[in-house]
Structure 1
Amino acid sequence: MTCRIAVLPGDGIGPEVIREAVRVVEAVGAATGIAFDFTEAPIGGAAVEATGDPLPPETEQACLAAGAILLGAVGGPRWDREPAARRPETGLLRLRKAVGAYANLRPVRVHRAMAGRGPLRPEVVGTGIDVLIVRELTGGLYYGERGLQQEPFGERAYDTMVYTTPEIERIVRMAFQLARGRRRRVVSVDKSNVLETSRLWRRVTEAVAEEFGDVELEHMLVDNAAMQLVRNPGRFDVLVTENTFGDILSDLAAALCGSLGLLPSASLGLPGRPPLFEPVHGSAPDIAGRGIANPLAAIASAALMLRYAFGLEREARAVEDAIDEVLAYGPWTPDIAPPGAPVAGTEEVGRAVALKVRERLAPAPLEPVDAPLQVAFWDPVEPADPAPPGEGYPGGTAGTTGETPPAAVPGSSLSAAAAPAASGPGVAGDNLAVSWIAGDHGFRPVLPDEPDPAAPGVAPVAPPPAGATSSGHRCSHRTRHPAGRRAESKARTRAGAGSLPGAGKGA
Structure 2
Amino acid sequence: MTYRIAVLPGDGIGPEVIREAVRVVEAVGAATGIAFDFTEAPIGGAAVEATGDPLPPETEQACLAAGAILLGAVGGPRWDREPAARRPETGLLRLRKAVGAYANLRPVRVHPAMAGRGPLRPEVVGTGIDVLIVRELTGGLYYGERGLQQEPFGERAYDTMVYTTPEIERIVRMAFQLARGRRRRVVSVDKSNVLETSRLWRRVTEAVAEEFGDVELEHMLVDNAAMQLVRSPGRFDVLVTENTFGDILSDLAAALCGSLGLLPSASLGLPGRPPLFEPVHGSAPDIAGRGIANPLAAIASAALMLRYAFGLEREARAVEDAIDEVLAYGPWTPDIAPPGAPVAGTEEVGRAVALKVRERLAPAPLEPVDAPLQVAFWDPVEPVDPAPLGEGSPGGAAGTTGETPPAAVPGASLSAAAAPAASAPGVAGDNLAVSWIAGDHGFRPVLPDEPVPAAPGVAPDAPPPAGATYSGHRSSRRTRHPVGRRAESKARTRAAAGGRPGTGKGA
Q: TM-score range by the shorter chain?
A: 0.7 to 0.9
Are the structure 2 counterparts of residues 459 and 37 from structure 1 closer, same or farther at C-alpha, using a change threshold of 3 Å? same
Aligned twin of 1:14? 14
Verify the 8 A CA contact 1:44 1:87 in the aligned structure 2.
yes
In structure 2, distance between residues paired with 1:275 and 1:490: 56
Are the structure 2 counterparts of residues 226 and 393 from structure 1 closer, same or farther at C-alpha, using a change threshold of 3 Å? farther
Tell me whether 280-289 or 432-441 shows the greater mean CA deviation. 432-441
Shift of 1:56: 1.1
**Residues 451-502 of structure 1: per-residue CA shift (max 9 Å, x gap):** 9999999999999999999999999999999999999999999999999999
Tell me whether 134-143 or 58-67 shows the greater mean CA deviation. 134-143
Verify the 8 A CA contact 1:15 1:72 in the aligned structure 2.
yes
In structure 1, distance between residues paired with 2:415 and 2:125: 31
In structure 2, distance between residues paired with 1:427 and 1:242: 60
Shift of 1:80: 2.1
Shift of 1:449: 21
Q: Secondary structure at the match of 1:394?
A: coil
Verify the 8 A CA contact 1:17 1:295 in the aligned structure 2.
yes
Tell me whether 41-50 or 118-127 shows the greater mean CA deviation. 41-50
In structure 1, distance between residues paired with 2:470 and 2:259: 31
Are the structure 2 counterparts of residues 126 and 420 from structure 1 closer, same or farther at C-alpha, using a change threshold of 3 Å? farther
In structure 1, distance between residues paired with 2:234 and 2:71: 30
**Residues 76-108 of structure 1: per-residue CA shift (max 9 Å, x gap):** 222222222222111111111111111111111
Shift of 1:150: 3.8
Are the structure 2 counterparts of residues 366 and 455 from structure 1 closer, same or farther at C-alpha, using a change threshold of 3 Å? closer
Verify the 8 A CA contact 1:189 1:240 in the aligned structure 2.
yes
Are the structure 2 counterparts of residues 452 and 183 from structure 1 closer, same or farther at C-alpha, using a change threshold of 3 Å? closer
Q: Secondary structure at the match of 2:383?
A: coil
Are the structure 2 counterparts of residues 437 and 339 from structure 1 closer, same or farther at C-alpha, using a change threshold of 3 Å? farther
| Corresponding residue pairs, total | 507
Verify the 8 A CA contact 1:412 1:475 in the aligned structure 2.
no
In structure 1, distance between residues paired with 2:385 and 2:196: 48
Are the structure 2 counterparts of residues 333 and 154 from structure 1 closer, same or farther at C-alpha, using a change threshold of 3 Å? same
Shift of 1:265: 0.6
Verify the 8 A CA contact 2:376 2:415 in the aligned structure 1.
no
In structure 2, distance between residues paired with 1:401 and 1:52: 73
Are the structure 2 counterparts of residues 503 and 353 from structure 1 closer, same or farther at C-alpha, using a change threshold of 3 Å? farther
Does 2:170 match 1:170? yes
Verify the 8 A CA contact 2:8 2:41 in the aligned structure 1.
yes
Aligned twin of 2:221? 221
**Residues 30-49 of structure 1: per-residue CA shift (max 9 Å, x gap):** 11111111111111111122
Aligned twin of 1:373? 373
Verify the 8 A CA contact 2:12 2:283 in the aligned structure 1.
yes
Are the structure 2 counterparts of residues 243 and 435 from structure 1 closer, same or farther at C-alpha, using a change threshold of 3 Å? same
Are the structure 2 counterparts of residues 464 and 84 from structure 1 closer, same or farther at C-alpha, using a change threshold of 3 Å? farther
Verify the 8 A CA contact 2:175 2:186 in the aligned structure 1.
yes
Q: Secondary structure at the match of 1:417?
A: coil
Shift of 1:154: 3.9
Q: Which segments of 5 or more consecutive residues in structure 2 lack a partner in the other structure?
A: none
Q: Secondary structure at the match of 2:434?
A: coil
In structure 2, distance between residues paired with 1:286 and 1:332: 19
In structure 1, distance between residues paired with 2:227 and 2:253: 11
Verify the 8 A CA contact 1:184 1:216 in the aligned structure 2.
yes
Are the structure 2 counterparts of residues 220 and 468 from structure 1 closer, same or farther at C-alpha, using a change threshold of 3 Å? farther
- CA-atom RMSD, angstroms? 13.2
Are the structure 2 counterparts of residues 455 and 471 from structure 1 closer, same or farther at C-alpha, using a change threshold of 3 Å? closer
Shift of 1:309: 0.5
Are the structure 2 counterparts of residues 314 and 427 from structure 1 closer, same or farther at C-alpha, using a change threshold of 3 Å? closer
Verify the 8 A CA contact 1:374 1:505 in the aligned structure 2.
no
Are the structure 2 counterparts of residues 153 and 29 from structure 1 closer, same or farther at C-alpha, using a change threshold of 3 Å? same
Verify the 8 A CA contact 2:147 2:159 in the aligned structure 1.
yes
Tell me whether 246-255 or 438-447 shows the greater mean CA deviation. 438-447
Verify the 8 A CA contact 1:385 1:395 in the aligned structure 2.
no
Verify the 8 A CA contact 1:384 1:411 in the aligned structure 2.
no
Are the structure 2 counterparts of residues 85 and 382 from structure 1 closer, same or farther at C-alpha, using a change threshold of 3 Å? farther
In structure 2, distance between residues paired with 1:471 and 1:338: 58
Verify the 8 A CA contact 1:45 1:74 in the aligned structure 2.
yes
Q: Secondary structure at the match of 2:119?
A: coil
Are the structure 2 counterparts of residues 104 and 310 from structure 1 closer, same or farther at C-alpha, using a change threshold of 3 Å? same
**Residues 170-222 of structure 1: per-residue CA shift (max 9 Å, x gap):** 00001011111111111000111221111111111011111111111111111
In structure 1, distance between residues paired with 2:125 and 2:241: 24
Q: Secondary structure at the match of 1:290?
A: coil
Shift of 1:445: 29
Q: TM-score, normalization: structure 1?
A: 0.73
Shift of 1:167: 0.4
Verify the 8 A CA contact 2:108 2:130 in the aligned structure 1.
yes
Shift of 1:257: 0.7
Tell me whether 327-336 or 474-483 shows the greater mean CA deviation. 474-483
Are the structure 2 counterparts of residues 51 and 120 from structure 1 closer, same or farther at C-alpha, using a change threshold of 3 Å? same
**Residues 249-298 of structure 1: per-residue CA shift (max 9 Å, x gap):** 11100111110100101111111110100001111112111111100000
Are the structure 2 counterparts of residues 458 and 402 from structure 1 closer, same or farther at C-alpha, using a change threshold of 3 Å? closer
Shift of 1:361: 1.3
Pair member with larger Rg: 2
Are the structure 2 counterparts of residues 270 and 455 from structure 1 closer, same or farther at C-alpha, using a change threshold of 3 Å? closer
Verify the 8 A CA contact 2:116 2:122 in the aligned structure 1.
yes
Are the structure 2 counterparts of residues 282 and 472 from structure 1 closer, same or farther at C-alpha, using a change threshold of 3 Å? farther
Verify the 8 A CA contact 1:119 1:258 in the aligned structure 2.
yes
Are the structure 2 counterparts of residues 454 and 16 from structure 1 closer, same or farther at C-alpha, using a change threshold of 3 Å? farther
Shift of 1:138: 1.2
In structure 1, distance between residues paired with 2:37 and 2:10: 19
Are the structure 2 counterparts of residues 14 and 192 from structure 1 closer, same or farther at C-alpha, using a change threshold of 3 Å? same
Does 2:474 match 1:474? yes
In structure 2, distance between residues paired with 1:212 and 1:178: 11
**Residues 403-460 of structure 1: per-residue CA shift (max 9 Å, x gap):** 9999999999999999999999999999999999999999999999999999999999
Does 2:46 match 1:46? yes
Verify the 8 A CA contact 2:70 2:277 in the aligned structure 1.
yes
- Identity, in percent, stands at 96
Are the structure 2 counterparts of residues 422 and 53 from structure 1 closer, same or farther at C-alpha, using a change threshold of 3 Å? closer
Verify the 8 A CA contact 1:11 1:45 in the aligned structure 2.
yes
Verify the 8 A CA contact 2:379 2:468 in the aligned structure 1.
no
- Superposed, 1:324-473 pairs within 5 Å as 324-365=324-365
Are the structure 2 counterparts of residues 10 and 405 from structure 1 closer, same or farther at C-alpha, using a change threshold of 3 Å? farther
Shift of 1:357: 0.8
In structure 2, distance between residues paired with 1:385 and 1:349: 56
**Residues 3-31 of structure 1: per-residue CA shift (max 9 Å, x gap):** 10000111111111111100100111111
Shift of 1:148: 3.2
Q: Secondary structure at the match of 2:42?
A: coil
Tell me whether 301-310 or 396-405 shows the greater mean CA deviation. 396-405
In structure 2, distance between residues paired with 1:382 and 1:279: 66
Shift of 1:503: 27
Q: TM-score, normalization: structure 2?
A: 0.73
Aligned twin of 1:323? 323
Tell me whether 118-127 or 149-158 shows the greater mean CA deviation. 149-158
Does 2:80 match 1:80? yes
Are the structure 2 counterparts of residues 362 and 375 from structure 1 closer, same or farther at C-alpha, using a change threshold of 3 Å? farther
Q: Secondary structure at the match of 2:392?
A: coil
Verify the 8 A CA contact 2:385 2:470 in the aligned structure 1.
no
Verify the 8 A CA contact 1:185 1:236 in the aligned structure 2.
yes
